[in-house]
Amino acid sequence: MSDESEDSPPVVRSQDRAASGVPAAGWALGDRFSWNEIHQRLLASADEEIASTLSELFFSGFTAGFAIVLTFIGYTVGTATFPNNRFLAAVLYPIGFMYIILGRYELYTETTLPPVKLVLTRLASLPLLLRMWSVVLLANVIGAAFGAFILANTHVLAPAEMEVGAEFLQHGLELGWWDLFFKALFAGWLVAGVVWLHTAARDTISRVVITYLVFYTIPVLGLYHVVSSGAEALFVVFLKTPSPGVLTLIYEFWLPILLGNTTGGVVLVALASYAQAVRRRYPEIRVLSSREMLFSLKGGRPFETPRPGIQLPENGGGPEEESDTTR
């Protein structure tokens, strides 16, 4: 007879957990995580990223911004080749995003979900989140500017393709501020959803398919992504062709896209699932106080407090079994 009560929580073996303490396999089905398990894995990943140094964030963000040029090239060539078929024109659009996301580089729209969840569950402070956002966004823009400058001043693109690339901005400006905002809002929701689905996926092939299909959807539906759209605007600026001034481009084109992407990622995904996450923090014993939440830079792996996870016995032997009640 087992001493455990039928109502006691299931025992989670230490080998079923990653080193951080999060589930390495689903409890009910080994190859499928529950919502709570995905949530814990997402927080563990964000917990590591948000504590990165400024230089790590910047150079990772710069690489991501520069890689967006691959998306711009692919979409420009596709549109020039298939001007009357948006489904074929967008075939190469996801290439830059696949490089960024599968390579784990920092892209601003990806940071609208995991770090925000850390703040909502009081595992990281608001200033730490704002620091990450500002550094990553600045680095993305600088990287995209570097790539756009090269394209505008070389012959990587054919003349016809360069003309098509310049037309992307004009189409956006014709939409108006609020149309851009709401198109970007749905794009932000899609990108934040990619992060969640990547955490739920268990193999690289699944992540490749998810990334491709979601980012392929953005141009097909006529939506806007803040970094790729920034590359389009900077390309026109560097071409030195007649165009609206830089301040006009920022306010009437780039700003509504930035706010839309942020709103889509934060409100529609992070905040919408907050109610489910309130009692399911990871790690629960490292919750910040209100003062720390607002005025400190605490959060992430370097924050020296006890962490839940695999418990080692005092005699230095192997890992002990751990139940859900210890977390």
Decide if pLDDT at 108 tops 90: yes
Decide if 168 is inside a domain.
yes
Q: CB–CB of 324/303 below 8 Å?
A: no
Decide if 8 is inside a domain.
no
Decide if 236 is inside a domain.
yes
**What is the DSSP track for 29-95?**
BTTB--HHHHHHHHHHHHHHHTT--HHHHHHHHHHHHHHHHHHHHHHHHHHHHSTT-HHHHTTTTTH
Q: Decide which of 115 and 276 is more confident.
A: 115
**Distance between CA 49 and CA 98 in Å, rounded?**
19
What pLDDT, on the 0 to 100 scale, is given for residue 281?
55
Decide if 301 is inside a domain.
no
**Residue 41 CB neighbours (<10 A):** 20
Which structural domain range is residue 127 located in? 35-281
Per residue in 285-325, pLDDT (tens digit) is: 567 777 787 878 877 654 444 444 444 344 444 444 444 43
Per residue in 142-189, pLDDT (tens digit) is: 999 999 999 999 999 999 999 999 999 989 999 999 999 999 999 999
- Residue 220's Cα: distance from chain center in Å? 20
- Residue 271's Cα: distance from chain center in Å? 15
**pTM across the whole model:** 0.81
Decide if 299 is inside a domain.
no
**Residue 318 CB neighbours (<10 A):** 10
Decide if 19 is inside a domain.
no
Q: CB–CB of 160/80 below 8 Å?
A: yes
Looking up residue 61, the CATH number of its domain turns out to be 1.20.1080.10
Decide if 293 is inside a domain.
no
Work out how many domains the chain is built from and give that number.
1
**Distance between CA 155 and CA 153 in Å, rounded?**
7
Sign of the Cα torsion 195, 197, 200, 201 reads negative
Decide if 164 is inside a domain.
yes
